Amino acid sequence: MPLIEFTDKGLYCPQGGFYIDPWRPVDRAIITHAHSDHARAGSGAYLCHRLTVPLLEWRLGVAAEAVQGVEWGEPVFMNGVRVSLHPAGHIIGSSQVRVEYQGEVWVVSGDYKTEDDGISGAFEPIKCQVFVTESTFGLPIYDWKPQPVIFGNIQDWVVGNREQGKASVLIAYSLGKAQRLLSCLEPVTEKIYVHGAVWNIHQALVNAGVALPPVERVMPEMPRELFKGQVVIAPSSAEGSPWIRRFQPFAVGVCSGWMQVRGNVRRRNADAGFALSDHADWKGLLGAIEATGAEKVFVTHGFQATLARYLNERGIAAAEVKTAYGEDEEGGEPTDKEEKEAAHE
């Protein structure tokens, strides 16, 4: 019996009796991070990183008693199986799950990135026999520029917009990218305005003790002049909505790994695209996989067939696994229902 099985409810550890990021309700769920395709409501008990707890409570409405928060590296034993969480570098609280039983070690990556973004915790390579990796950006065309370079580009863009009297609206996921952008924007603007969906996440994190630069929520009664030449962070649901019109004149900059390809920038009808991703790029994926020393690699959501084939050709036994993570086969980042709801405020 393998230590972890791939079932129609999610990744299951029969010996420990728990699931990792299940997509159907189960008794016990270990959650890598709070993005909606990895963390779903309805399970009996949840185990996750301490900083993921307030996010699960806020986003899924999970009762506080049902969630157990742990620190990175802190072991939890379930029927003799040793489980510990380790930084994945994806978003705040995101973790890899290390599962050990009778000397056999599996690591489930969840979503991860290998560059330290300064707020999510630096990705920790963990030795294991079997590694379950994501592959959202598993093609060599995805080769991220270092964060300081992209931040520089975003800052130049913001300053340029202000010189033309335009507000800068940055489109970013309300959980993860939005927090990551704050330290980029703080030096070039007095105030950072945020959409309600971003505001809610921000509050949940600040209340849990995370230190973040201050933001201001965009309110319906705010006069339009207030936003002239200012910086706004909003989720993608705000693009092209009536909500965004109050910033007129403004420029839209989309922050997403998909912006690496010109066609996607054009398709989004954005004025600028910044290839800023919370996922590992091709080199990041290969480096992380190699560092685990794993004998067997399972590749989940994204370019799983491509990455698995490439690993096999390089002498690393790999297989693709179908999961319900990611929007579709391209491993789109999660869509957030609440972002859409908050967009119409």
Partner 1 sequence: MNNNYRGGMRLFAELVVLLGTSTKTNDKLDALATYFASAGDADKVWVIALFSGRKPKRTVNATQLQEWCREATGLPAWLFEECYHTVGDLAETIALLLPQNGDEAETGYSLADYLRQLVQIGKEEEAVKKELVLRCWRQMNKEERFVFNKLITGGFRIGISQKMIVNALGRSAGVDAAIIAHRITGDWDPATTTFSTLLSEEGGGGDLSKPYPFYLAYALEEEPAALGDPAEWQAEWKWDGIRGELICRGGQLFVWSRGEELMTEKFPEYQAWRELLPEGVVLDGEIIGLRAGPGAAESGEGANVVVGQDGNAGVTESDETVGLDFVPLPFAALQTRIGRKNVTKKNLQEVPVGFIAYDLLEYEGQDWRNRSLTERRAQLETIIGSVNHPLLQLSPVIRFRDWEQLAVIRQSSREVGSEGVMLKKKSSVYQVGRKRGDWWKWKIDPLVIDAVMVYAQKGHGRRSNLYTDYTFAVRGGDQLVTFTKAYSGLTDKELAEVDAFVRKNSLEKFGPVRTVKPELVFEIAFEGIAASARHKSGVALRFPRINRWRKDKTPAEIDTIEDLKRMLEVYGK
Quickly list DSSP for 149-185.
HHHHHHHHHHHHHHHTT-EEEEE--TTTHHHHHHHHH
**Rounded to whole angstroms, how far apart are CA atoms 108 and 98?**
7
Q: Is 271 in the site for partner 1 (CB under 8 A)?
A: yes
Q: Is 265 in the site for partner 1 (CB under 8 A)?
A: yes
**Rounded to whole angstroms, how far apart are CA atoms 144 and 166?**
28
Contact predicate 279/301, CB 8 Å: no
For residue 75, CA distances in Å to 21, 98, 104, 201, 269 come to: 18, 9, 15, 28, 47
Candidate ranges 26-34, 74-82, 172-180, 269-277; the one touching partner 1 (CB under 8 A): 269-277
Among partner 1, Zn ion, none, what binds residue 265 when CB lies within 5 to 8 Å by partner kind? partner 1
Q: Is 313 in the site for partner 1 (CB under 8 A)?
A: yes
Q: Is 15 in the site for partner 1 (CB under 8 A)?
A: no
Phi and psi dihedrals of 145, rounded to 5? -75, 155
Candidate ranges 71-79, 114-122, 143-151, 191-199; the one touching partner 1 (CB under 8 A): 143-151
**Rounded to whole angstroms, how far apart are CA atoms 83 and 71?**
12
Q: Is 329 in the site for partner 1 (CB under 8 A)?
A: yes
Among Zn ion, partner 1, none, what binds residue 266 when CB lies within 5 to 8 Å by partner kind? partner 1
Contact predicate 90/69, CB 8 Å: no
Q: Six-digit token pair at 65?
A: 């008693």
Per-position x/- string for 313-342, each x denoting binding to Zn ion as judged by CB under 5 A, each - no binding? ------------x-----------------
Residue-wise over 67-102: b if at least 16 C-beta within 10 A, else e?
bebbebeeeeebeebebbbbbbbbbbbbbbbbbbbe
* Dihedral over Cα of 239, 243, 244, 249: its sign: positive
Q: What minimum distance in Å lies between the beta carbon of 266 and partner 1?
A: 5
Binding-site size for partner 1 (CB under 8 A) equals 28
Q: Is 113 in the site for Zn ion (CB under 5 A)?
A: no
User: Which one of 35, 59, 86, 202 is in contact with Zn ion (CB under 5 A)?
Assistant: 35
Q: Is 111 in the site for Zn ion (CB under 5 A)?
A: yes
Among partner 1, Zn ion, none, what binds residue 111 when CB lies within 5 to 8 Å by partner kind? Zn ion
User: Which one of 139, 188, 212, 291 is in contact with partner 1 (CB under 8 A)?
Assistant: 139
Residues 169-198 that bind partner 1 (CB under 8 A): none
Interacting residue ranges for partner 1, rule: CB under 8 A: 139-141, 143, 145, 149, 258, 260-267, 269-273, 303, 306, 309-310, 313, 328-330
Interacting residue ranges for Zn ion, rule: CB under 5 A: 35, 111, 325
